Amino acid sequence: MIFSRVAWKLLPAAPAFVILTAWFVYWLVVRPPPSVIPSIADVVRTGAELAFGGRLLGDFIASMGRLLGGVAFGIATGMIMGFVAGVCRPVATFLNPLVVFFNAISGIVWLPLVIGWLGVGNALATFLIWNTVFFIIFQNTVLGIQLVPEVLEQGVRALGGGRWETIRTVTLPGALPYILSGVRSGLGFGWRALIAAELVGATTGLGQLIFSGSEYHRADIIIFGALLIGAIAMLMDRWLLAPIERRTVVRWGLVAASRGR
Amino acid sequence: MSRLRVLLPFGLLIAFWWAIKSGFDISDKLLVAPPQVWSSFRVLIGHGILAEYVSTSLSMIGIATLVSFAIGVPLGFAVGTNRYAARALEGFLRYLQGISGIAWLPLAILWFGFTHTTTLAIVIYTLIVPIIFNTMTGVRAIPENYILALQSLGASRLRIVTDVYFPGALPSIVVGTRLGMGYGWRALIASEMLVRQGGLGDLIFGARTFGQIDRIMVGMVIIGTLYIVVDRLLVQPVETMTLARWGVLRK
Amino acid sequence: MSSDKIVVSGFRHFFQSDSGPVQATGEIDVTIREGEVVTLVGPSGCGKTTLLKAIAGFIMPTEGQILCDGKPVRGPGRERGVVFQELAILPWRTVRRNIAHGLEIARVGKAEREQTVERLIGLMGLVGFEDRYPHELSGGMRQRVAVARTWAADPDVILMDEPFAAVDAMTRLTLQEELGRLCATTHKTVFFITHSVEEAVFLGDRVLVMTKRPGTIKATLDVPRHGKGGRDWDSFTGDPEMRAISEQVMHLVHAERV
């Protein structure tokens, strides 16, 4: 009874345990060259060196700065454009084909072209993140506004509210859960776009850290970096975005449009 | 009418692009005019170069989709029908979703070199996680009564898999595959840029090194168009069909 | 004359929860004879569904045993068909294919299968809806399909868990009459649980009344059947004998109000 309950609690750790064990055994038995498969100890040591040497903090700050810049810019522009398109149908009709097309090439596909405009660095990475996030926020905002029940808007109108009054008190709050859920998945996609952008489009950042690992044949750096990238993504989602989304969505009894997948 | 609705925005966009190019006298190293893109497109078509790049990319995404489907769906079933496996793997899969395929690219290059294997590994990794995940959620969303009712009709375990689990999870599997193909296509382009062994990513990144903006733009248009064509003409109809048939329009 | 089909003896069940075992039912002894329609009425949460699930073989009783034809129940089997309260017909099969499902599983030949399905489509008033999907049907129609599917598989015993609870009141009256006719013409052994007193008396040859949780069988009442075929609501409501039995059951159930 107690044993099975403890086992149930520990079960989520099982995959990590299995992989670490397999890795450890493989390394003991086969002794592969560390440039291809390093030992667990090497990865831990490298992680500590990077962390205490200051390199990691610099890369982390560089990545986060770009992420925040690109995402903030994407949210602002996506919301404004999405709002206009959501309230005014002809605009939505006009923009729709363009959105479908540019969404299909959003993000990393722009790199070869934009690298010539902005050069390698912060501006390029920020642009690529903005380009990824924009469409997610835009589409969720339009959807959210279009799905606000008309009765609610009519209700405020019947009480004598003007157009702006209606938008402020009904349309925006009604669309907010969708927008927030867009922010959540947008940040996830932005993070992936950032790593891709940094592989070639930057000289600092976590993406560059792992890419330099491949140039110097340092698998330990790459593995440590990739695991860290996943951990940051998970922590951001769990501690920052899920609670925000949950709070508004649950309080208003609404269901989110899309899940961050 | 609907054709106009599609063509007009693009027409205006091209006019705007052309106006900026000639109005501000922008260098060909930064932006080229629409006719240059068109003539570059015709050159690439004429020499069969484009066909080669396109077929490389399409066969890569095709192979990756087949492999991910063949491995991901059974795995999703295994995880979805067993609550211990589900508990063990759900968090792990979520974690993996946070590490984009492209973040493993440097390691894949160390392991497999600058080869198609590297690209395939990255694209399969990107594609398979949403397929496993959606198969799993699809299986777990099937009402228990369906299974109990079939057991009372004397169904074997295999019968329950073919008659309940598979059809029940199918809409979710299709959605997962569609999502995965979207992510996989982007990962493919990114990987091709770095691996440089053919494919549309190679085309546009290679053109960069020679400053051929016209080629880059042709490549971008092809990448977008192919994605839309595959998604709208191939995958979406399957999705609509299963969702409508099942009467579970969940969106 | 008729033999014992289902024998439940010394049954008690507990569920595992985070704070330890929770008692779902008291000690229950029930015998259902062959060809008999036994209805069980009791307050919600008394454990009637637990008992039905145990007879179906979906759960193993914590104590006691359940015999079907003298053999202990070890799991679900095709000799014990179940009709659920919520929708349990498959949304991706048409009406016809849902009804045929049990026969497909039993590898019944095509000709015989089609014949059986046609007969049940006729009996359950589903003519014209054969090729519809469940989502295109009303709630009452779907439950008709569920009943037809179970009958088509031709089990010895049919277990029904409040099958009409989610159907609107008008349709329910029709379904109850149809079910009564079906039971009378096919001579199946039926165990039917409900929280509606009238339904229990209307359908049952025998009505069992359960106490509140943890439930035990509090009383058993025989409902005499006059003439052949099922009952109909018009003569049922006008029959003083039936009214007396209903009132008696009502008193027994009311004493169990939570």
Domain definitions of chain B by residue range: 33-246
Here the CATH number for the domain that contains residue A60 is 1.10.3720.10
Residue A222: its chain B contacts at CB < 8 A?
106-107, 110
Is A258 contained in some domain?
Answer: no
Residue B164: its chain C contacts at CB < 8 A?
90
Q: How does pLDDT run across A54-110, given as a tens digit for each residue?
A: 889 999 999 999 999 999 999 999 999 999 998 888 898 899 899 999 999 988 999
A164 to chain B, closest Cα gap in Å? 29
Instruction: Name the residue among A16, A105, A226 with its Cβ closest to that of B223.
Output: A105
H/E segment holding residue C222: strand C217-222
Question: Which of B3, B7, B79, B107 would you mutate first to test chain A, the one with the most A CBs within 10 A?
Answer: B107
Domain that holds residue A220: 41-251
Q: Mean per-residue pLDDT for A231-246?
A: 82
Alpha-carbon distance C47 to C26, whole Å? 9
Share of chain B above pLDDT 90, in %: 58
Closest-CA residue of chain B to A229 = B99
Instruction: Name the residue among A8, A104, A229 with its Cβ closest to that of B103.
Output: A229
Does residue A221 sit in the same domain as residue A168? yes
Domains of chain C, by residue range, sit at 4-79+156-254, 87-154
Q: Which of residues 102-141 of A touch B (CB under 8 A)?
A: 102, 104-105, 107-113, 115-117
Instruction: Name the residue among B145, B153, B159 with its Cβ closest to that of C86.
Output: B145
Of A174, A181, A88, the C-alpha closest to A140 is A181
Instruction: Specify the length of chain B in residues.
Output: 251
The answer to whether A231 contacts chain B (CB < 8 Å) is yes
Between B68 and C124, the more confident residue is B68
Put simply, the answer to whether B152 touches C136 (Cβ < 8 Å) is no
Using the CB atoms, write b or e for A216-251: b if 16+ within 10 Å: eebbbbbbbbbbbbbebbbebbeeebeeebeebbee
Residue B163: its chain C contacts at CB < 8 A?
90, 101
Does residue A143 sit in the same domain as residue A45? yes
Type of residue numbered A7: A
The pLDDT, as a whole number, for residue B245 is: 67
Range from B173-177, B234-238, C153-157 carrying the lowest mean pLDDT: B234-238
Put simply, the answer to whether A97 touches B13 (Cβ < 8 Å) is no
The pLDDT, as a whole number, for residue B247 is: 59
Instruction: Name the residue among B143, B148, B155 with its Cβ closest to that of C58.
Output: B148
Does residue A131 sit in the same domain as residue A24? no
The CA radius of gyration of chain A, in Å to the nearest whole number, is 23
The pLDDT, as a whole number, for residue A251 is: 58
Tell me the CATH number of domain B33-246, given options 3.40.50.300, 3.40.50.1000, 1.10.3720.10, 1.20.120.1630.
Answer: 1.10.3720.10
Give chain C's mean pLDDT.
89
Question: Which letter does DSSP use for residue C137 in this model?
Answer: S
Put simply, the answer to whether B163 touches C135 (Cβ < 8 Å) is no
Q: Which of residues 143-202 of B touch C (CB under 8 A)?
A: 143, 145-146, 148-155, 159, 163-164, 167-168, 170
pLDDT category of residue B242 using cuts at 50, 70 and 90: confident
Q: Mean per-residue pLDDT for B180-202?
A: 92
* Helix, strand or coil, per DSSP, at residue C72: strand
Instruction: Name the residue among C87, C92, C150 with its Cβ closest to that of B246.
Output: C92
Put simply, the answer to whether C105 touches B149 (Cβ < 8 Å) is no
H/E segment holding residue B127: helix B116-140
Phi, psi of B43 (to 5 degrees): -65, -50
The answer to whether C134 contacts chain B (CB < 8 Å) is yes
The pLDDT, as a whole number, for residue A59 is: 93
Q: Which residues contact B216 (CB under 8 A, 6 or more apart)?
A: A112, A113, B204, B207, B208
Is A194 contained in some domain?
Answer: yes
Closest-CA residue of chain C to B154 = C78
Q: How does pLDDT run across B114-139, given as a tens digit for each residue?
A: 999 999 999 999 999 999 999 998 99
Of C90, C104, C106, the C-alpha closest to C145 is C90
Put simply, the answer to whether B102 touches A227 (Cβ < 8 Å) is no
Is A257 contained in some domain?
Answer: no
pLDDT category of residue B147 using cuts at 50, 70 and 90: very high
Q: Which CATH class is domain C4-79+156-254?
A: alpha beta
The answer to whether B48 contacts chain C (CB < 8 Å) is no
Alpha-carbon distance B151 to A146, whole Å? 45
Does residue A21 sit in the same domain as residue A98? no
Does residue A79 sit in the same domain as residue A154? yes
Does residue A87 sit in the same domain as residue A121? yes
B149 with C88: CB under 8 angstroms?
A: yes
For the CA atoms of B105, B106, B111, B113, the dihedral, rounded to the nearest 10 degrees, stands at: 90
The pLDDT, as a whole number, for residue C227 is: 64
Q: Does the pLDDT value for residue A28 go beyond 70?
A: yes
Put simply, the answer to whether B151 touches C153 (Cβ < 8 Å) is no
Token pair 């440097």 in the structure block, residue: B106
The pLDDT, as a whole number, for residue B201 is: 94
Is A27 contained in some domain?
Answer: yes
The answer to whether C117 contacts chain B (CB < 8 Å) is no
ipTM: 0.88
Alpha-carbon distance C36 to C29, whole Å? 17
